[in-house]
Structure 1
Amino acid sequence: MTSTLRQQLFRVKPVPKDGGESGSTLKRSIGLFQLTLIGVGGTIGTGIFFILSEAVPVAGPAVIWSFIIAGAVAGLSVLCYAELASSVPVSGSSYSYAYSTLGELPAMGVAACLLLEYGVSTAAVAVGWSQYVNQLFNNLFGIQFPKELLAAPEEGGIINLPAVILIALCCLLLIRGTSHSVVANTIMVLIKIAVLLFFVAVGITGWNADHFADFAPFGLTGIMTGAGIIFFSFVGLDAVATAGDEAKNPRRNLPIALIAALVIVTGVYVLVAMTALGAQASGDFDGQSAGLSAILENIVGATWPGTVVAAGAVISIFSVTLVVLYGQTRILFAMSRDGMAPKIFQKVNPRTMTPVANTIIVSVIVAILAGVLPINFLAEMTSIGTLAAFLVVSIAVMVLRRREPDLERKFRVPLYPVIPILSIIGCLWIIKDLRPITIIVFAIWTVLVLVWYWFTGRRNSVLGHQLKTGMIRLVGPGKYVIEDEDAYAESMSIPVVGEGSEREGGRK
């Protein structure tokens, strides 16, 4: 690889200042509380309602420790996200972090992870939503949707209509404006937390301490296996980082929201798990498809608690779909602004201050996937995309600490570099247990995205254009001297801030 090509592939984007050099045209309207609930909303989905039937049989009552360990592994990555969010306060999550630390080519590799994580998971949870809506309508009104409208053609149906309707509703909310979307998400998150607390309140009445007698029947192996299963219930916390361009005071609020969301999610999960195990013997969880609903129905001797939990699941998945669809559009927005995706993805409606065309395109593609494809077998792809992104963020923290030790950081990872290293080890430990086919498909997808970059993104790179035309001059990794302030400001869509300024990692 020639020196010039190497410099091109690994050119590092300057670290932007808060809302200035980032060139954002999005409106900063999301406060700390709403940011926190974006993280909670994107994380607490169907997992906690049904995952106990998979985790308890392999870990026993010690599944409580499995939840804590899984939360700790996710927490290691969240701490790394928190530091980078306070240092690189822009949309794009780990894509933007990789671009500002590792370079353009690695950033596109991370983009492949994120597009897979958000795109596939949005369609997958929408498919799941249709089943819960059908169950809820059956419980309340005795109405069941015909199978032709609940399944993909390969599964004997015509179209999964409820899934398409859900994507359309989320699309309309996002188009109306971010403030409307975060208000809706806030309401839905509060409702689903209330439903889970309702489960705790009712479930604790059936508490039996004898259920914890044989606490760890499968030893440490069972606990760690359970943690691997449960980890994927923590996927979605990184959605907070996609809101960097729309968060108020992002250097302060993004780290706090990330950590607060982790604490809330872990606390709720452990509380629900303890209650479920206290109310039902661990041997009864195996093959229990109804999950939390069945536990409450056995305690109360009636079906109405199950209906309440089913309603909570419907609201829960709606919230997850909204947050994940939002995250997908903001990642593409950041990529488009950098020249790594078509320009249409960065066009912002002047009235709503949202990327309307971006949202519609993403929603249509996801609705097609959810409506006509049996995509449940792709759900594991969401996990490997998330883990790969977590891995890169942990590496990026160490790179940025070394390259720019004086960069403003409102939050610093404690026990550095132990935490980032443990995060890397934790992600690799979980990835190794994924099915080989998952890793192969992930590798093929990543190669396709990198081929796109080689033939299109590399040539359309805004940073590359700025360097080629002499707007800026590289003086070190991530450090540039601006030679033409007016042209640079126009290319970044930001106000002119003065003559002859120097940006080092985004700082003047």
Structure 2
Amino acid sequence: MEDSHASARTTGLGAQLLRRKPVDDIVTDSGRGEGGALRRTLGLRQLTMISVGATLGTGIFVVLGEAVPLAGPAVALAFVFAGITALLSALSYAELAGMIPVAGSSYSYAYATLGELVAWICGWCLILEYGVSVAAVAVGWGQYVNELLRLTLGVALPDALSAPPGDGGVVNLPAAVVVVLAMVALLGGAKESARVNSAMVLIKTVTLVLFCALAFAAVRDGNFSPFLPLGLGGVSAAGAKVFFSYIGFDAASTAGAEARAPQRDLPRAIMLSLGVVTVLYCLVSLAAVGAMHWTRFAGTEAALSKVLGGHAGSVLLSVGAVVAVASVVLAVLYGQTRVLFAMSRDGLVPKLFSRVNPRTGVPSANTVIVAGFIAVLAAVVPLGDLADATSIGTLFAFALVNVAVLVLRRTRPDLPRTFRAPFAPVTPILGVASCGWMMASLAAPTWIAFGGWMLVGLVVYFAYGRRHSALAHRCATQVTEDNDSPVVS
């Protein structure tokens, strides 16, 4: 720890950008904001539900139509492959979450190991991942609501009120509404919003289990033959496609400052949520290709509804999709506010974002500002390639978490670890490699959008964050005290 302080007190630009916040200070500062502190009210069940809620959403409802034509009946293997890839990073998240149980997730882990600039970049990636993905998911929610209205009432919202200007509408009203509803739930307090999220997670899980029961009853053995019509290459391509259905399992790590027993429960919640989601994905994909021949999935957006067929099946899946997407909006919006809370506490974004409401114990201004911005984004902006950039931002953050495990294993082997990633350093290295491989598979427009976002982030950091860094002020104070100390000869 002394070495970290000593290096941070160096005045050179390079040393300033690489200054690390000691782990002990990160833990001590955790949950403390302007005017109060976050409340520790969440147990293992709520933490697990936050991660399941952020993960189990639009992916499984729409991804089969894109993944099955690539892998055929072996699409379940693609989910297993993607799940193993996610597991490599989940193991690192579990180790760090138990060791550094704070609100900032991978941003805080990077601050302790790789320095302030890398931490800022990581936090900026998380803002992209959470913020833009919430807007993109909210846009999809409007489409599911329209489908449910059509099936149950025979009506639908006009395009002018259900699509942004670039897509032939005026404003996407449902997209803005679901973000505002999530904001209201979050303003009630972490424990209260966790209850709402748990109820929605239960509903969408039951929906998928019912789908499996109905689809398995209609399975035909011939639909599984040949099992690998496009070979292992097809399974690999489908795995890259469905990997993004796993994004969100890290959401529990953003709740570190509000968990009752974070060192014990955070690692368990991360691993449990990933296990639950993987099992559901594999069961749903097996049931789907067993009930409908894989060649019929091409070009199908609502693949699960097509598998069940009939009015009742379509209504069931539409209800599940509406609840699933709303749950994702709630859980991911929660994560976004907590990452900004941690960055604000460190002075890298304005202190307003870490101001805690003394009555509810939540960062109210933070929640309102973020929800308002995302609601407008979802309502009026066609997201296009920018939405795809959330994937590359997520993978970059995952890679940094794996690197952070390697660094802390070497620099702070003395820190207590309630969970240790097995087979380290092999698993973290494989985690970095798998994230790099996934990033390399993304298209050029995604890289361009990501590069533009990073440039904006660097401008913000050098214009505001570097000058207002709490760690910089702390180090400067320490330097002054050292210089004022009498010299003993």
Q: TM-score under structure 2 normalisation?
A: 0.94
User: 1:238: how far off?
Assistant: 1.2
User: 1:452: how far off?
Assistant: 1.4
Return the alpha-carbon distance in structure 1 between the equivalents of residues 280 and 73 of structure 2.
Answer: 17
Residue-by-residue CA offset, 1:370-410 (whole Å, 9 max, x unaligned): 00111143221110111000010000100011110111110
Q: Give 1:454's aligned residue.
A: 462
Q: Give 1:385's aligned residue.
A: 393
> What amino acid sits opposite 1:467 in the alignment?
C
Return the alpha-carbon distance in structure 2 between the equivalents of residues 222 and 23 of structure 1.
Answer: 46
Poorly superposed stretches of 4+, deviation over 3 Å: 16-21, 471-474
Residue-by-residue CA offset, 1:179-237 (whole Å, 9 max, x unaligned): 11100000000110000000001111111121111111111111100000000000111
Return the alpha-carbon distance in structure 1 between the equivalents of residues 127 and 13 of structure 2.
Answer: 26
8 Å CA contact 1:466–1:472 kept in 2: the answer is no
Q: Give 2:195's aligned residue.
A: 183
Judging changes above 3 Å, is the alpha-carbon distance between structure 1 residues 261 and 377 closer, same or farther for their aligned structure 2 residues? same
User: 1:17: how far off?
Assistant: 7.2
8 Å CA contact 1:18–1:250 kept in 2: the answer is no
8 Å CA contact 1:9–1:103 kept in 2: the answer is yes
Return the alpha-carbon distance in structure 1 between the equivalents of residues 11 and 26 of structure 2.
Answer: 33
Q: Give 2:207's aligned residue.
A: 195
Tell me the secondary structure at the aligned position of residue 100 of structure 1.
helix
Q: Give 2:412's aligned residue.
A: 404
Q: 1:75 aligns with which of 79, 87, 96?
A: 87
User: 1:135: how far off?
Assistant: 0.7
User: 1:158: how far off?
Assistant: 1.1
User: 1:128: how far off?
Assistant: 0.4
Root-mean-square deviation (CA, aligned residues, Å) is 1.6
Q: 2:124 aligns with which of 112, 116, 141?
A: 112
User: 1:287: how far off?
Assistant: 1.3
How many correspondences in the alignment? 470
User: 1:23: how far off?
Assistant: 5.2
> What amino acid sits opposite 1:375 in the alignment?
L
Q: Give 1:147's aligned residue.
A: 159
Tell me the secondary structure at the aligned position of residue 238 of structure 2.
helix
User: 1:472: how far off?
Assistant: 10
Q: 1:62 aligns with which of 74, 82, 85?
A: 74
Judging changes above 3 Å, is the alpha-carbon distance between structure 1 residues 96 and 292 closer, same or farther for their aligned structure 2 residues? same
8 Å CA contact 1:17–1:88 kept in 2: the answer is no
- The question of 1:336 aligning with 2:348 is answered no
Judging changes above 3 Å, is the alpha-carbon distance between structure 1 residues 23 and 45 closer, same or farther for their aligned structure 2 residues? closer
8 Å CA contact 2:385–2:449 kept in 1: the answer is no
What stretches of structure 2 of length at least 5 have no aligned partner? 1-9
> What amino acid sits opposite 1:100 in the alignment?
A
User: 1:336: how far off?
Assistant: 0.3
Judging changes above 3 Å, is the alpha-carbon distance between structure 1 residues 325 and 318 closer, same or farther for their aligned structure 2 residues? same
- The question of 1:126 aligning with 2:138 is answered yes
User: 1:3: how far off?
Assistant: 6.8
Return the alpha-carbon distance in structure 1 between the equivalents of residues 31 and 285 of structure 2.
Answer: 45
User: 1:64: how far off?
Assistant: 1.2
Greater fraction helix? 2
What stretches of structure 1 of length at least 5 have no aligned partner? 475-482, 484-508
> What amino acid sits opposite 1:148 in the alignment?
A
- The aligned runs of 1:412-491 (5 Å cut-off) are 412-470=420-478
Question: Equivalent pairs: percent with the same residue?
Answer: 49
Judging changes above 3 Å, is the alpha-carbon distance between structure 1 residues 453 and 19 closer, same or farther for their aligned structure 2 residues? closer
Q: 1:29 aligns with which of 25, 41, 53?
A: 41
Q: TM-score under structure 1 normalisation?
A: 0.90
Q: Give 1:493's aligned residue.
A: none
Return the alpha-carbon distance in structure 2 between the equivalents of residues 11 and 472 of structure 1.
Answer: 17
- The question of 1:6 aligning with 2:14 is answered yes
> What amino acid sits opposite 2:188 in the alignment?
R
Return the alpha-carbon distance in structure 2 between the equivalents of residues 83 and 292 of structure 1.
Answer: 36
> What amino acid sits opposite 2:126 in the alignment?
L
Return the alpha-carbon distance in structure 2 between the equivalents of residues 381 and 329 of structure 1.
Answer: 20
Tell me the secondary structure at the aligned position of residue 419 of structure 2.
coil
Q: Give 1:480's aligned residue.
A: none
8 Å CA contact 1:33–1:257 kept in 2: the answer is yes
Q: Give 1:346's aligned residue.
A: 354
Q: 1:278 aligns with which of 290, 294, 306?
A: 290
